[in-house]
């Protein structure tokens, strides 16, 4: 059961000229030549050569009993059994080629193809048709393990998006999984973007539908004086194992449901391990001193249920992290619920078996794992959970300028209002990263960016750069802005009940103008109960909900209070239900104002 490709395709040593890399856009790039011009992965020109013949599909990996359950399973099981990712990874290129050849218009192709191919299965390739809001336009969800990108990758994305000019739909969003989504794409362009990303070491396959999502790590990995474990290599290794180096891996092409993995490297838990299906919390082993991870499992949010992770009472060294992910995924794939999608996330399987039984089965699976296990006759090097350092550790805010563990270097955390960019912004980030941060930039789950490795002598000129002087991207945003997160919302998302991003910006601007706050308050806004904006981890969580005003159905929100992240993580509780937004959002401003005064020490200006 090994992946079809065990190593990535060979990388060419050929380099490109400056103009090819920059698309002709001038920039200063005396630093980080290697990151600006990494060797491109050499990709074969056509789909057959790129992917080879389909020798195995996701269905082939299902044991007979699982297959029988899938056959009687939910509508989505039928969609997956008919065709799964192994087909979609190729089909996206074939559909794009048909459009580019001029043989068919988009409208004709849309009529000719199965709607499930277009609207569901393409998500296996990370391509989401936004039929409800922007028909004929697609969103590409990338995979960025640990949220680390290079200037070269940013320039490529900027160029791909620049093609759409000032088009209202053409935006790039940082997601709540430390990732990017490119929006407003035409299907004919997606193939070239996918191969361009692959050539630069990034991908988008298996980022939607029943797949493992972007692997979240510590955005301060390798630079933070308080770091316990550098998460970067592990996140990339997990991603490569799951996606076959971003080329698609049929072994995981038929999971029962979506699946989230997060690796935390400091006590701040910037990765939010407690709300992921698998969370790795860095902690040294008491006896050996080896820094490994306590494992927590099953955390998730959904419209029907939200839950923090269960502690498995298991500690694994870094060398067993892949084994653990592989083994949990196998148990999940083969035994997870295929009938009821509301009961299909990992937590339900753990509850069905009980934590003890799940742990026992998992350890047996890990012991016998041919690909990543300890090997025949060897003991599995794991232990019971190790004690974390004493609590009362205040989670740090990473925005602004902070000294790194490397002498003479600082990281600069910059706030990105609701994580949204246009093509030009992405190019500018690449330019600044090339000039100041070793050609590297990081994304955070709060939808912000971090420039690492900035020489202390360069900090002032980075901060003085015109891009950071417009007032839009700030290192010192206001107390509500600095903790603001908003999901895509109804502007582009078909399931969003309310518009979130623009509204969130407007709400906090008005609240900051009206109230003085003694400290930051983390406010997260999700457009619907799926909680993609992680409303329950915030100090104040907003969640789109139906409401009534003067007997009429109007837009509204539920308001959550008391969420916390870090070592003392807890989920917020619903405090107010179905609050009508009111005219010009006045009612929700009123409710939030009262909460800020009563709970967070705000004073009316």
Q: Which residues bind ligand SRM (CB under 6 A)?
A: 128, 130, 139, 141, 173, 175-177, 179, 181, 207-208, 213-214, 258, 260, 275, 300-302, 345, 487-488, 492-495, 530-532, 534
Task: Lay out the sheet containing 172-174: strands in order across.
Answer: 127-129, 138-141, 180-185, 172-174, 420-421
Least distance (Å) between residue 233 CB and ligand SRM: 20
- Positive or negative, the CA dihedral 30, 172, 174, 179 is negative
- CB nearer ligand SRM, residue 214 or residue 437: 214
Q: Tell me if residue 409 is catalytic.
A: no
User: Which one of 533, 541, 544, 566 is the catalytic residue?
Assistant: 533
User: Which one of 130, 419, 532, 572 is the catalytic residue?
Assistant: 532
Q: Tell me if residue 147 is catalytic.
A: no
Residue nearest to ligand SRM (CB): 302
Q: Tell me if residue 123 is catalytic.
A: no
- CB nearer ligand SRM, residue 181 or residue 190: 181
Q: Tell me if residue 527 is catalytic.
A: yes
Of residues 308, 306, 302, 284, the one with CA closest to residue 294: 284
- CB nearer ligand SRM, residue 307 or residue 412: 307
Least distance (Å) between residue 532 CB and ligand SRM: 3
User: Which one of 141, 200, 343, 359 is the catalytic residue?
Assistant: 141
Least distance (Å) between residue 302 CB and ligand SRM: 3
- CB nearer ligand SRM, residue 21 or residue 140: 140
Q: Tell me if residue 258 is catalytic.
A: yes
Structure tokens that stand for 172 in this block? 């790039």
Q: Are 569 and 537 in contact (CB under 8 A)?
A: yes
Least distance (Å) between residue 338 CB and ligand SRM: 14
CA-CA distance, 263 to 265, in Å (whole number)?
A: 7
The three-point CA angle 534-232-17 to 5° equals: 110
- CB nearer ligand SRM, residue 296 or residue 468: 296
User: Which one of 258, 330, 345, 420 is the catalytic residue?
Assistant: 258
Least distance (Å) between residue 256 CB and ligand SRM: 11
Least distance (Å) between residue 350 CB and ligand SRM: 14
Q: Tell me if residue 141 is catalytic.
A: yes
User: Which one of 201, 527, 541, 563 is the catalytic residue?
Assistant: 527
Over 302-363, what HEC string results?
Answer: CCCCEECCEEEEEEECHHHHHHHHHHHHHHHHHHCCCCCHHHCCHHHHHHHHCHHHHHHHHH
CA-CA distance, 224 to 403, in Å (whole number)?
A: 8
- Burial group, residue 309, by CB count within 10 angstroms (0-12, 13-18, 19+): buried
CA-CA distance, 511 to 507, in Å (whole number)?
A: 6
- CB nearer ligand SRM, residue 167 or residue 465: 167
Distance, C-alpha 141 to centroid of its chain: 9
CA-CA distance, 177 to 443, in Å (whole number)?
A: 9
Helix boundaries (H) for 421-520: 423-436, 459-464, 501-514
Residues annotated as catalytic (active site), given as ranges: 141, 257-258, 527, 532-533
């Amino acid at each position: 059961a090994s992946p079809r490709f065990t190593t990535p395709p060979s990388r060419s040593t050929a380099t490109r000229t400056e103009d090819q890399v920059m698309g002709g856009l001038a920039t200063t790039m005396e630093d980080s030549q290697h990151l600006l011009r990494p060797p491109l992965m050499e990709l074969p020109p056509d789909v057959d050569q790129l992917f080879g013949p389909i020798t195995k599909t996701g269905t082939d990996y299902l044991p007979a009993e699982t297959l029988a359950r899938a056959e009687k399973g939910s509508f989505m099981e039928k969609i997956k059994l008919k065709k799964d990712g192994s087909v979609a990874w190729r089909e996206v290129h074939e559909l794009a080629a048909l459009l580019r050849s001029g043989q068919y218009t988009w409208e004709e192709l849309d009529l000719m193809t199965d709607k499930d191919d277009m609207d569901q299965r393409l998500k296996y390739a990370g391509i989401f048709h936004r039929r409800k809001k922007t028909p004929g336009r697609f969103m590409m969800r990338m995979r960025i393990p640990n949220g680390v990108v290079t200037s070269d990758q940013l320039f490529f994305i900027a160029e791909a998006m620049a093609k759409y000019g000032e088009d209202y739909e053409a935006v790039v969003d940082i997601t709540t999984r430390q990732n990017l989504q490119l929006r407003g794409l035409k299907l004919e362009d997606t193939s070239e973007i996918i191969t361009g990303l692959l050539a630069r070491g990034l991908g988008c396959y298996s980022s939607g539908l029943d797949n493992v999502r972007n692997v979240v790590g510590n955005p301060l990995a390798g630079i933070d004086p308080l770091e316990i474990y550098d998460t970067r290599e592990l996140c990339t290794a997990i991603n490569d194992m799951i996606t076959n180096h971003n080329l698609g891996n049929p072994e995981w092409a038929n999971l029962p449901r979506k699946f989230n993995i997060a690796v935390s490297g400091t006590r701040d838990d910037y990765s939010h391990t407690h709300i992921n299906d698998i969370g790795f919390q860095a902690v040294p082993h008491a006896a050996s001193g080896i820094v490994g991870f306590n494992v927590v499992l099953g955390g998730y949010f959904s419209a029907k249920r939200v839950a923090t992770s269960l502690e498995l009472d298991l500690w694994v060294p870094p060398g067993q992290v892949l084994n653990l992910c592989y083994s949990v995924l196998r148990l999940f794939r083969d035994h997870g619920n295929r009938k009821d999608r509301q009961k299909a996330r990992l937590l339900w399987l753990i509850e069905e078996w009980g934590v003890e039984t799940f742990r026992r089965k998992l350890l047996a699976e890990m012991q016998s794992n041919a690909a990543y296990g300890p090997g025949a006759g060897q003991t599995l090097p794991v232990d019971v959970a190790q004690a974390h350092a004493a609590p009362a550790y205040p989670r740090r805010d990473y925005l602004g300028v902070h000294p790194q563990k490397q002498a003479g270097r600082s990281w600069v955390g910059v706030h990105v209002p609701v994580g949204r960019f246009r093509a030009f912004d992405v190019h500018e980030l690449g330019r600044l990263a090339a000039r100041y941060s070793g050609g590297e930039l990081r994304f955070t789950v709060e939808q912000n960016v971090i420039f690492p490795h900035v020489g202390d002598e360069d900090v002032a000129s980075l901060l003085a750069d015109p891009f950071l002087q417009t007032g839009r991207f700030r290192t010192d945003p206001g107390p509500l802005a600095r903790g603001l997160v908003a999901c895509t919302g109804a502007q582009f998302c078909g399931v969003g009940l309310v518009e979130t991003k623009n509204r969130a910006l407007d709400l906090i601007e008005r609240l900051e103008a009206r109230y003085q706050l003694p400290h930051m308050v983390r406010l997260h806004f999700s457009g619907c109960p799926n909680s993609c904006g992680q409303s329950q981890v915030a100090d104040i969580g907003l969640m789109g909900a139906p409401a009534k005003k003067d007997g009429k159905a109007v837009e509204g929100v539920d308001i959550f209070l008391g969420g916390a992240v870090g070592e003392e993580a807890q989920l917020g509780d619903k405090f107010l239900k179905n609050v009508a937004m009111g005219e010009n959002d006045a009612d929700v401003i009123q409710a939030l104002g009262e909460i800020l005064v009563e709970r967070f020490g705000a004073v009316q200006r």
